[in-house]
Structure 1
């Protein structure tokens, strides 16, 4: 278990602070993560990586000459928000374009994608290569849906080396794509991981058993087997990774050249890894492969998880040159980097600063009616916070069955941030739109992950329909929620039946719109809509997942409702109590 922390809620921030102070030769702190503290004399394509915290040395430990230029670092096991990613990009880019690279997880895809779009709108050539190395997370026929684990390193290194060599954005992107196409990984775990302050691990493995195909965010394994000997584990790894279906196009086993990376996931000792590696080296050599620059150690961890993964990077002439090129970072080094020509970066703070969303800021003009509506919204956000806080453990429990177990924690972070921002903004005279927009940003930033992105989008979309100067009527609220439903489906690409929050959001929005149109009071329409959401959330127990991390675990999720749908239904139910008790009559709320 994790033993040392101050406040679990601030663990990631405290960790980044200590990391930067210990590694100032390589990194400086910027809003949303870290960026290089030096730069080469000539501008380079910026390689910006990132993801949730809890995976050190991924991601901040891989920032330095010859590798990444910046790392967006989210909360524990939660993707950084779009605002945080954008901040790191703007603090790292040098005018030659930006390559974003990260593991293929829904929250990362959403947030990095939104940041990329913001940069493109400002004329910055910003591109993305998503890492998909985990062979157990999807079949070869659906390899684009595979998630990224320790193979992140090979893709980041190829891109960083190409950038350091002065390549343009086209060639940096091509190098990253090639490295991803030629990287394969699989992992096993003997125990789950426990987040700071948590009483239980995100998942458990039966005594004497091993989970095969685990994820680095605490996702349970695809299969459970007996724990083999060290040689037996080596044979399992090599057999699976050398399966003909997993040998990359253009690569061959006989006469091929590979970089083997044996990765400890948190609490497996290096001595144990070396015992496993001895047999891996024999097996790969006997198969006809030449081993190039083997790496054994921790490269992508999962807090205190007892687990191991093996990655193979299948080399061609270009990838071998890029892999062996000099690099110097806090956690990874190759060759010898000439640091004499590096220039110190004097800018600080990063794009957007580190301020809180409720701080004093200039607000648009607002009408008295809109300010009253904002007061009711603030009350609603407070009861949302309390409702989620009471159910966070249960939401985490159902999420852990086929996901990573952090849905309750993420929703806690988001609702607390939104409620705090609302309280501050209400005292400053914010109208409904301004309050919801800033609360949406606060939720997204603090929570990260898929839920943070989607709930931030919901609040901001509803706010845009309510405005700051118009009465907040039942009709405008229903229209805003209907628009939020569409925005969520467009943004996350989920549809009804995929076993996501959309399964509860659609009946909620549609019922509310229909009942308001029929002339019912907002309180009555909301009550019926909340009931429809609750019924739909319960029915997700019978669905097979089509999106998100639970998709990899298929039937394991049967019999358990989707946590995102459950939390949405819970929130809808609790908000009804505020609407029903509001002293502000309809049509304004």
Structure 2
């Protein structure tokens, strides 16, 4: 288990601070993560990678000459926010374009896509290539749905080497796609991992058993089998991966890079015993092994497990794999001399607020009180939310909601005290929530609060009709942004009935307090009913049946928030249709 920490919610921030202090030869701190502390004489395409913390050397440990130019580093097992990705990409861009690359997870896709849209609007040339190497996470005919695990390194290394060699953005993008298409991975685990402050691992494996097809965020395996011998595990790895050959590849005469990756708590000596048989099996099939790697390449805290990645080479990929690289977590050959890069200076925050009316400022005060109560309620429920999320997901929902709600509450308080109206207060809370929470829920709560704020505005008195319409628009924004629908076992299963019931009651003439309270009760029932569903989206998708019997944590946290806001409304002054 993870033993050394201070405040668990501050673990990622403190880890990044210590990493920068230890790795200053390669990286410097930047808002949202790290960028290189050195640069080459000639400008190149910038490769920006990223993902949740807890996977070292991925992702910050792969920043340096020959691989990445920057890494957006999210909370533990949670995607970085769009603000983080945007800031890192801006700091890394050398004027020749930016390639964003990361593992194919729902939260990462949402945030990186948001950042890409914003960067393009500002004039940056930005492309994206997601890594989809995990053969167990989706069938062969749905390769685009597969998640990225240790194959991240193969794709990042090829793309980074192409950038260093002077390829233009089209060329770097092509290489990243080509490397991803020729990379396959398969992982197993013997024990789960435990997040800082947690008393139990995210999942457990029965004694004498091995979880097959695990994910690097603590997602439990697809199957459990008896623990094999080292040779039997090697045979399982190689046999299964040879059934998953990329298009145009045949084993005989092929050249391949094997990456045997320890997930955090497996001894190197054990991995060498396994690799011994892997090498034998590949050679027996007429395959030439090229510059293999055995070690910790993409970890999962203290998970006891191992994965095998095969990167199938052609002449161009082989040249790029062999190219030099010098990063804190991965080194190969000798890179050309570098010079010190300019220090990154964070943009100053704009503390001014737009003009607002007294009526809107009164609503802003109520928003401030509501979000403060929400943060307290989430604090109390965080452990249980994390437990529910660990059943078929990665267990980070509680800590992500904690970070997001606290940041949202602090931002709302600062805005309200500065004289902001309802829209500005909600927008600033949205930005802070999304930025600090990261992950899918952070992105979605950011969308909801912005949509509600846009409807309320800063100039008008807020009516029950305006609130109901704003909640309806928040629902629509979430469904359009996250692509979920009712029945997918997501937060939408609570949002939709709440928004629809609230709108129906307000149209019928009920005051906001009464309508909100009744809708919140309906929402709670809908959230609890998600226990009957199997997950079909997000990280829990590949473990959908395991989620049956446990409510969706996003739906439960949404219902908790609606009930908390109703308590604040019930204690507020004013007419039943205002505030």
Q: Same fold (TM over 0.5)?
A: yes
Q: 1:249 aligns to what SS in structure 2?
A: coil
Matches for 1:186-197 after TM superposition, within 5 Å: 186-197=186-197
**Cross-structure match for 1:531:** 521
Task: Give the TM-score, by structure 1 length.
Answer: 0.97
Matches for 1:283-298 after TM superposition, within 5 Å: 283-298=281-296
Aligned residues of 1:369 and 1:588 also touching (Cα < 8 A)? no
Aligned mates of 2:370, 2:74 — CA distance in 1: 27
**Cross-structure match for 2:343:** 347
2:568 equivalent to 1:578? yes
Q: Give 1:393 deviation, angstroms.
A: 1.6
Aligned mates of 1:257, 1:374 — CA distance in 2: 63
**Cross-structure match for 1:506:** 496
Q: Give 1:433 deviation, angstroms.
A: 1.0
2:548 equivalent to 1:552? no
Q: 1:190 aligns to what SS in structure 2?
A: strand
Q: Give 1:554 deviation, angstroms.
A: 2.4
**Cross-structure match for 2:185:** 185
Runs of 4 or more above 3 Å deviation: none
Q: Give 1:423 deviation, angstroms.
A: 2.4
Matches for 1:147-546 after TM superposition, within 5 Å: 147-243=147-243, 246-339=244-337, 342-350=338-346, 352=347, 361-546=351-536
Aligned residues of 2:512 and 2:578 also touching (Cα < 8 A)? no
Q: 1:15 aligns to what SS in structure 2?
A: helix
Aligned residues of 1:29 and 1:349 also touching (Cα < 8 A)? no
Q: Give 1:89 deviation, angstroms.
A: 0.2
Aligned mates of 2:199, 2:414 — CA distance in 1: 32
Q: 2:431 aligns to what SS in structure 1?
A: helix
Aligned mates of 2:119, 2:69 — CA distance in 1: 16
Q: Give 1:28 deviation, angstroms.
A: 0.8
Aligned mates of 1:542, 1:557 — CA distance in 2: 9
Aligned mates of 2:332, 2:351 — CA distance in 1: 47
Q: Give 1:532 deviation, angstroms.
A: 2.2
2:5 equivalent to 1:2? no
Aligned mates of 2:198, 2:415 — CA distance in 1: 32
Aligned mates of 2:23, 2:393 — CA distance in 1: 34
Aligned residues of 1:473 and 1:586 also touching (Cα < 8 A)? no
Aligned residues of 1:65 and 1:337 also touching (Cα < 8 A)? yes
Unaligned segments of structure 1, at least 5 residues: none
Aligned residues of 1:325 and 1:335 also touching (Cα < 8 A)? yes
Task: Give the TM-score, by structure 2 length.
Answer: 0.98
Number of residue pairs the alignment of both structures matches: 579
Matches for 1:126-145 after TM superposition, within 5 Å: 126-145=126-145
2:118 equivalent to 1:115? no
Aligned mates of 1:346, 1:325 — CA distance in 2: 26
